[in-house]
Homo-oligomer: A and B are copies of this chain.
């Protein structure tokens, strides 16, 4: 019987199940997986200099490809460094196979310096946690991890002690890629939804952006537009969709506002809120005087849950209601005002320069909201947002998306505060030569915190200091060059437009610091 090692068996089984890439920051306890990467497996390995780069990239990969990427992290501390972006992946329902090495099993009782309770760290972000307890378990555990990740739409964590990586085990017969059994679809009642919609005076469709057949796919949004032409009312994307198709003749559905007052105003105008792949809307934080639930159960209706095939149900519903065919709206881009950069001017400039088929990873409120509104009339593109609120996600997700979609230009529209958390992503972009243009809205502050603080009154000097990134100002051009990424600085719309178009033309990584 042909023999292999536990590490080989894991990589081979993952690759056979369609896991094509591994975002890795290995350490000593993962070295047999590194040795196994040498031969026999077709998996691509991409090195990150910090683990949150790897986990965020796996999220971006999974959102765009629909298949899980693997990670490779170094015991508890390496996992911990990657947890924030696994949290975002969990909220995005992105399939990820999260591989974490551990001490050689017989060494664990000695509580060596790097030992820790990996299970306790993994559980809060994982749909499934499994410890490989012998080399023969590596291949079946890999297959089950893929199944769990795809089926559950989440993170499957495999903890793999070093000795079981190194040890010999009979090679498994190859197992064909399984179409992971999806959980049974949620029940729905098309006739009931039809009736309720006809009875409603002002329905509001709340559209979730998980998966390629989500409500924010092109098919899904076109079907919603058809429905609206029958029912009247409005539609919103959920506030933080994992993935939304935009522009190119799709409808101009904005995101539900972030703060409770405008969100409630939008929702209160509706007598019926129809969830399509979106969770019941709640406030982002608990705000005094605002109940957590933005809509009572009596006004809520569900077409499907997040992660399900919303597009097909929406089309079925539109046909059933005899909605007319989809008509592309006549949308135009907002004009690009010349002058010093402001968030709306940045939004208009980027929307106007978007190439067909672009992917835009949006993080940070400063430009994120204006851009989403401005880009409805842009060329067809895909927008990815920060689903879990753990900041430092925008650039790694862009990295993963660029690897998943070779040929598609990627723009990361970011804020300076959040991008610092995973600034090391710039190196991997340079190392892999990926066509990602990072746009940094440099206002040198945690603007979102100041906005939240101002809800309670004026900012005192300490609150000012604790939300200021101003002394010294980070020089993003210098940082980017330090990581081998070409960089420029733009202060006006004309400069941003010229620099963005030039950067996109190079098909290489670039960074533009946008002075605000």
Residues of chain A having any CB pair with chain B under 8 Å: 24, 26-29, 31, 34-35, 37-39, 45, 47, 49-50, 52, 76-78, 80-81, 83-84, 87, 91, 103-107, 109-110, 112-114, 116-118, 120-121, 123-125, 162-163, 166, 240, 282-288, 292-293, 387-390, 392, 417, 420-421, 423-424, 427, 430-431, 448-449, 452-453, 456, 460-463, 465-469, 471-479, 481-484
**Contact assessment for B388 and A77 in the assembled complex, using a CB-CB cutoff below 8 Å:** yes
The docked-state distance in angstroms from the alpha carbon of A240 to that of B113 is: 9
Q: A37 vs B34: C-alpha distance in the bound complex, in angstroms? A: 48
A27 to chain B, nearest CB (A): 7
Closest to A468 in B: B47
A388 to B284, CA, bound (A): 36
Specify which of A35, A123, A283 lies most central, judged by the most chain B CB atoms within 10 Å of its CB. A35
Closest chain B residue, CB of each to CB of A52: B81
Q: Is the CB of B427 within 8 A of A466?
A: no
Closest residue of chain B to A113, judged by CB? B389
Q: Which residues of chain B are near A285, meaning CB under 8 Å?
A: 28-29, 103-104, 107, 112, 114, 162
Complex: how many Å from CA A310 to CA B220?
70
Shortest Cβ-Cβ A-B pairs, 10 listed: A104-B286, A107-B286, A472-B484, A77-B390, A478-B482, A80-B83, A479-B482, A38-B460, A117-B124, A114-B389
Known A28-B448, A285-B28: A116·B87 in contact at CB below 8 Å: yes
Q: A45-B466, A389-B77, A481-B478 are in contact. Are A282 and B453 (CB under 8 A)?
A: no
Report the minimal beta-carbon distance from A34 to chain B, rounded to whole angstroms.
Answer: 5
Residues of B within 8 A of A456 (CB): 31, 35
**How many angstroms from the CA of A108 to the CA of B50 in the assembled complex?**
30
Report which of B388, B472, B474 forms a contact with A113, defined as CB distance below 8 A.
B388
**For residue A77, which residues in chain B have a CB less than 8 angstroms away from its CB?**
83-84, 87, 388-390
| Shortest distance from the beta carbon of A109 to any chain B beta carbon, whole Å | 8
Shortest beta-carbon distance, A483 to chain B, in Å? 6
A459, B121: Cα distance in complex, Å? 32
User: Inside 8 A of A474's CB, which chain B residues have their CB?
Assistant: 427, 482-484
Pick from B109, B288, B472: contact of A430, CB below 8 A: B472
Report yes or no: B166 in contact with A288, Cβ–Cβ below 8 A: yes
B469-A476 in contact (CB<8A): no
Cβ–Cβ < 8 Å partners of A37 in chain B: 462-463, 466
User: A114 near B388 (CB under 8 angstroms)?
Assistant: yes
Assess whether B49 is in contact with A469, with CB atoms less than 8 Å apart: yes
